[in-house]
Structure 1
Amino acid sequence: MALLMKQRVLWASLTKGTVISRCLGSSSIQGQVAASLEDELKAAKPLSEMPGPKTYPVIGSLPDMLADFDRKAFHKYYLRANVTYGPTFRLVVPGFGPMILMTHPDDCEKLLRLTMHNPVRTPIASLKAVRDRAIDDFFEKKAGILVENGDEWWRVRSRVQTPMMKPKVVGTYLQQMDQVSVEFMDRIAELQAKHGEMPNDFQFEMYKWALESVGLVALNRRLGCLNPSIREDSDALRLIEIVNDIFQALNDTEISLGLWKLFPIPPYKKLKNRHEQFLEIAVRSMQQTEAAILAQDPDSEHEVSLMESLLMTEGLTKKDVVTLILDMLFAGIDTTSHTLGFILYLLARNPDAQAKLQAEVDTVLRDHEGPLLPKHMAQFSYMKSVVKETLRMYPLTLGVGRILEKDCVLSGYAVPKGATAVALSMVTGWDEQYFPRAKEFIPDRWSRSRPLGPIHPYASLPFGAGTRMCIGRRIAEQEMYTFLARVMQRFTVDYKYKDMDVLTRLVFMPSEPLKFSFTERKQ
């Protein structure tokens, strides 16, 4: 009863948490570092000598970028710039100042180490503005760990990272996630029988699987996305459509070079409108979860859900938890479903790799007929290599960016405080220098024996690294592993259409419809 009462009090509480101070080391050590940096800066080349396109007053590098920039596939500009200017080059973007783009993993490692104590990321400014101006000041100028930096970011991050990234906590949702994937396999079989292959809108079916899976963790319950009789105007399906629109609106707003700050351009108005709808549905869903929590028998034994754990975390307010759950739903639909779309494509185009993954699944599961267990997940070594290799070839973002809080040296050049440095992990992942036979899908390159040579630990960072690493990583990986185990156990996948590329919608997505064919395996 005491636990239940505490949950009720915490759910109603809106008290502010305190900021955690991070220790940066002793003064003597800091002094040694400062002296070393001063010497390094003196020996460095000036930033003006760094290769890059011609810059102009006020408009910076904009002419070069606009001449060769595809808003639906902007990664191609950076690939071409890397060929033209080399592994380190400079852009000057209006409103952002100098941007340093790097592809050498050593530079990525140095950047992340330089900023490890306070990893300031280029904010998704339009999303922060929408939340800061929300109706009734819902967010109280605390926009969540996706967009905040500094002490406000760390205040929340330091309190939520343990429950969200601890394998034991994430593992409590394994059997439920597995059940969602098992049910989705039936949906695939149904679509295959009806159409002879997956229909053009199969990506939307994948979104439904993704929301149903992440909803288990974020809201501690099934949302009914896989129910064949679900209504088109249901909250769950509306959430998917709204999130898709938000991603597109964010992409269009963020590449508008700040025009949305001067006047409400259509993408920003759409972002604001759709975010309001998203907030309304998400809060309603969380209230339903709250009611279920409070209706539990206080004397019954049950696993404490992630939401309950967060509500009982000292220093987090109700609105902190609401914002985090909001971001889990927002970030948990497109990301895993797009990655699995790329994985299925690569397996279909590489039948030997698919057969090897099927053999691993058969060996691990054998005659096991119940839900997946943690011991099974631990044995899926080749499966994990398949995911790593896919994320090398088809990452969801360009790379890892940081705003520098002090002068430093990168690639031998003096880079001033306030500049933005971006490690282009996507470009690095496609570079033969770091990944031999880079255009080939070779999951075995990630095996312990490293048959194609050692891999730099900072050459492929699909989830980021350090204290700002993707906080939903373990949740996303578990979702993908359960999906792959069940799809490889039951089907062989094929794809007969146009080669897959990537399109930009804030995060990358498959360029072609996911018109896979799934053939039932003989058991």
Structure 2
Amino acid sequence: MQVLRNRIICTSFSVGNISIRRCVSGLACPMIEQRQNIKPFDEIPGPSSVPFLGPIHNFLPGGRLAGYKGVKLSERLYKLYGPIVRLDGILGGYDTVFLFDPDAVEHVLRSEDPTPVRPSLETMEYYRKRYNKTYDPKRIVGLNDHGDSWREFRTKVNPIMMHPKTIKVYANALEEVSNDMVDRLRTIREDDHKITKKLNVEMNLWALESIGVVALGTRLNCFDTNLPTDSPVKKLIQNVHDIFNIADKLDFNPSFWRLISTPNFHKAMKIYEEHEKLTKYFIDQAIKKNRGIKKGFSRHFKF
């Protein structure tokens, strides 16, 4: 598996009609001194590619992957190339290896070292480390950090956040959020009990509300249908929606942003800047609310 070292590895599996993809690691396998019988990376089956442009021609009209995205793309790659597929980087993007074989997935997961590299959103990382003039390299942000900084972050957070006693603190509040979400779904479903609205949008509201409970110790009221359009919560809801949309265009589809500043790239930087301002606002509000409260989890979370 040394051939996969320093590559982005994606696992893909299905549950019913749902296909799940996970970016596992770029440093998934330990160094192997014995190199015999190790095939080169280029021999992994996958769509043909050309220098710099990668396999982009396969996605153009008439190509073998034209019109395929997301789950359908994973299914197509598996059908054409088998349980392990190489997808060279497009327009400066990462080379990616897709694993569809459960045994291979298990091997990768069990072989990860303590400091994995798990890229998330390249555009967000660019904003944090290059576009944002206030960037502090010593500040750890779990979403985009890898290697030693990721390990340091998890070492400090896990003993607190993963402790059963800590989880119990949030149980009642999260149950309240979940019940409110169920009530909301009941109100938006049709007479035949089907939901025609975009369920992912509704689930984003539930996720935001749950994050507010855990991270800020308060309800954001994302389910409120009467939120003013200029309210911070309404702006945050829209901002998260914008992040998903722009990330799909720049991080998960071919784009020239790594080479030139495209209009969508400038849009992404503004969206991330707005997100930083909004999250800072809510954090400041939480600090003011909890200032002066005696130490103790239960005293910090009053619902």
Alignment TM class, shorter chain as reference: 0.7 to 0.9
Provide the residue aligned with 2:84 in structure 1.
Answer: 88
Deviations 1:5-36 (A, max 9, x none): xxxxxxxxxxxxxxxxxxxxxxxxxxxx86xx
Q: 1:147 to 1:258 in 2, by over 3 A?
A: farther
Provide the residue aligned with 2:47 in structure 1.
Answer: 53
Give me the TM-score of the superposition, normalised by structure 2: 0.75
SS of alignment partner, residue 216 of structure 1: helix
Deviations 1:467-494 (A, max 9, x none): xxxxxxxxxxxxxxxxxxxxxxxxxxxx
Residues 1:118 and 2:118 are matched in the alignment:
no
Displacement of 1:267 in angstroms is 2.3
Q: Which of the pair is proportionally richer in helix?
A: 1
Displacement of 1:258 in angstroms is 5.7
Provide the residue aligned with 1:76 in structure 2.
Answer: 72
SS of alignment partner, residue 124 of structure 2: helix
Residues 1:273 and 2:267 are matched in the alignment:
no
Work out whether residues 45 and 86 of structure 2, in 8 Å CA contact, stay in contact via their aligned partners in 1.
Answer: yes
Structure 2 letter corresponding to 1:175: N
SS of alignment partner, residue 90 of structure 1: strand
Distance 1:290 1:247 in 2: 28
Structure 2 letter corresponding to 1:42: Q
Structure 2 letter corresponding to 1:279: E
Displacement of 1:279 in angstroms is 1.2
Structure 1 letter corresponding to 2:87: L
Q: Which blocks of at least 5 consecutive residues in structure 2 are unaligned? A: 1-29
Provide the residue aligned with 1:132 in structure 2.
Answer: 129
SS of alignment partner, residue 36 of structure 2: helix
The counterpart of 1:42, out of the listed 21, 25, 36, is: 36
Displacement of 1:38 in angstroms is 3.3
Q: 1:166 to 1:56 in 2, by over 3 A?
A: same
Q: 1:275 to 1:143 in 2, by over 3 A?
A: farther
Deviations 1:243-268 (A, max 9, x none): 11111111211145462122222222
The counterpart of 1:179, out of the listed 172, 176, 180, is: 176
Deviations 1:369-389 (A, max 9, x none): xxxxxxxxxxxxxxxxxxxxx
Distance 1:86 1:42 in 2: 24
Displacement of 1:304 in angstroms is 6.0
Provide the residue aligned with 1:429 in structure 2.
Answer: none
Residues 1:100 and 2:94 are matched in the alignment:
no
* Number of residue equivalences: 268
Residues 1:64 and 2:58 are matched in the alignment:
yes
Work out whether residues 161 and 167 of structure 2, in 8 Å CA contact, stay in contact via their aligned partners in 1.
Answer: yes
Q: Which blocks of at least 5 consecutive residues in structure 1 are unaligned? A: 1-32, 307-523
Residues 1:241 and 2:238 are matched in the alignment:
yes
Structure 1 letter corresponding to 2:279: A
SS of alignment partner, residue 101 of structure 1: strand
Provide the residue aligned with 1:231 in structure 2.
Answer: 228
Distance 1:98 1:202 in 2: 32
Displacement of 1:273 in angstroms is 0.9
Distance 2:195 2:94 in 1: 46
Provide the residue aligned with 2:145 in structure 1.
Answer: 148
Structure 2 letter corresponding to 1:164: M
Work out whether residues 216 and 282 of structure 2, in 8 Å CA contact, stay in contact via their aligned partners in 1.
Answer: yes
Distance 2:55 2:300 in 1: 49
Work out whether residues 125 and 254 of structure 1, in 8 Å CA contact, stay in contact via their aligned partners in 2.
Answer: yes
Q: 1:205 to 1:256 in 2, by over 3 A?
A: closer
Q: 1:133 to 1:172 in 2, by over 3 A?
A: same
The counterpart of 2:159, out of the listed 154, 158, 162, is: 162
Q: More deviation in 210-219 or 163-172?
A: 163-172
Displacement of 1:174 in angstroms is 1.2
Q: Percent identity?
A: 27
Work out whether residues 52 and 90 of structure 1, in 8 Å CA contact, stay in contact via their aligned partners in 2.
Answer: yes
Runs of 4+ displaced beyond 6 Å: 193-197
Displacement of 1:52 in angstroms is 2.4
Structure 1 letter corresponding to 2:179: V
Work out whether residues 92 and 98 of structure 1, in 8 Å CA contact, stay in contact via their aligned partners in 2.
Answer: yes
Q: 1:69 to 1:236 in 2, by over 3 A?
A: farther
Provide the residue aligned with 1:388 in structure 2.
Answer: none
Provide the residue aligned with 2:204 in structure 1.
Answer: 207
Work out whether residues 246 and 274 of structure 1, in 8 Å CA contact, stay in contact via their aligned partners in 2.
Answer: yes
Work out whether residues 132 and 143 of structure 1, in 8 Å CA contact, stay in contact via their aligned partners in 2.
Answer: no
Provide the residue aligned with 1:220 in structure 2.
Answer: 217
Work out whether residues 250 and 268 of structure 1, in 8 Å CA contact, stay in contact via their aligned partners in 2.
Answer: no
Distance 1:245 1:278 in 2: 10
Displacement of 1:137 in angstroms is 0.7
Q: 1:207 to 1:81 in 2, by over 3 A?
A: closer
Structure 2 letter corresponding to 1:64: N
Provide the residue aligned with 1:259 in structure 2.
Answer: 256
Q: 1:140 to 1:178 in 2, by over 3 A?
A: same
Work out whether residues 69 and 77 of structure 1, in 8 Å CA contact, stay in contact via their aligned partners in 2.
Answer: no
Displacement of 1:192 in angstroms is 5.6
SS of alignment partner, residue 118 of structure 1: coil
Q: 1:127 to 1:45 in 2, by over 3 A?
A: same
Structure 1 letter corresponding to 2:284: Q
Displacement of 1:149 in angstroms is 1.4
Deviations 1:339-380 (A, max 9, x none): xxxxxxxxxxxxxxxxxxxxxxxxxxxxxxxxxxxxxxxxxx
Distance 1:57 1:134 in 2: 28
CA-based RMSD of the aligned residues comes to: 3.2
SS of alignment partner, residue 38 of structure 1: coil
Q: 1:182 to 1:46 in 2, by over 3 A?
A: closer
